[in-house]
Amino acid sequence: MVIVTDAGRAVKALPARNRIVLSGLAPVTSTGIVQKSPCRADTHVSPMFRPGTQLTRLFTLATLAALAVGCASTGAVPQPFPRPGGPTASPTTPPPPGAPPPTPAGDGYAIAGTALGLRGAPYRNGGSDPSGFDCSGFVWYVFGQHGIRVARTVTEQFREGAEVGADTIEPGDLLFFATQGSSASHVGMAIGGDEFVHAPSSRGEVRVERLSAPYWASRYVGARRMR
């Protein structure tokens, strides 16, 4: 047992190694902390608390363990790790007002797919349904299945849509040919690569042809995009 008076005098001798005095605090002994008044600064530090000692390391580990328990009990998440459901990236900048809406990807392929599904349908002059098609009735019907209205005759269709260069033709574009005279008189639909599908009268059914074939290449007069 160690007793310290208010003036800081020890009633019973206390070995220096068992006494800890921190600057600005009351003496600390193995039996606890005993207040003294007035408080005075003391520069003496027990060797047990000097840096590198085993007791100092144990004290540091105990402090870290207490902090870890605090995080676990409160559910705190160390920063800067993201929290589930936390802030997300800022949205993409919207297009400027007045900009045309983007064309949905694959529209041309879907339209061309509908046209290809009609291969083998019979040719019928003036026809515009699967029981029989002429060339303009064929493309009129196909576009109608996708909610796109186009004119009914070749001459009118050749004036609609946007002009397309021969090197930028895409599936779903209309290809026009001058089979009678010098103006457009026949129409087909591009399906990709060098091919197109149409309803010619010569062989009596909807079929696929090559644009590079001499007959069609020599009569080609342009392409139009309706979507």
| Residues with a known catalytic role | 135, 186, 198
- The C-alpha torsion from 70 through 76 and 80 to 83, rounded to 10°, is 160
213 CB burial (10 A radius; 0-12, 13-18, 19+): exposed
Task: Give 24's Cβ-side CA count (13 Å radius).
Answer: 0
Q: Which residues pair with 197 in a beta bridge?
A: 189, 208
The CA distance from 197 to 174, in Å, is: 10
Tokens of 42: 């003391």
Residue 127 burial (CB count, 10 A): 17
Is the CB of residue 168 less than 8 Å from the CB of residue 153?
no
Alpha helices, H only, 152-225: 154-157, 214-217
Tokens of 75: 């559910």
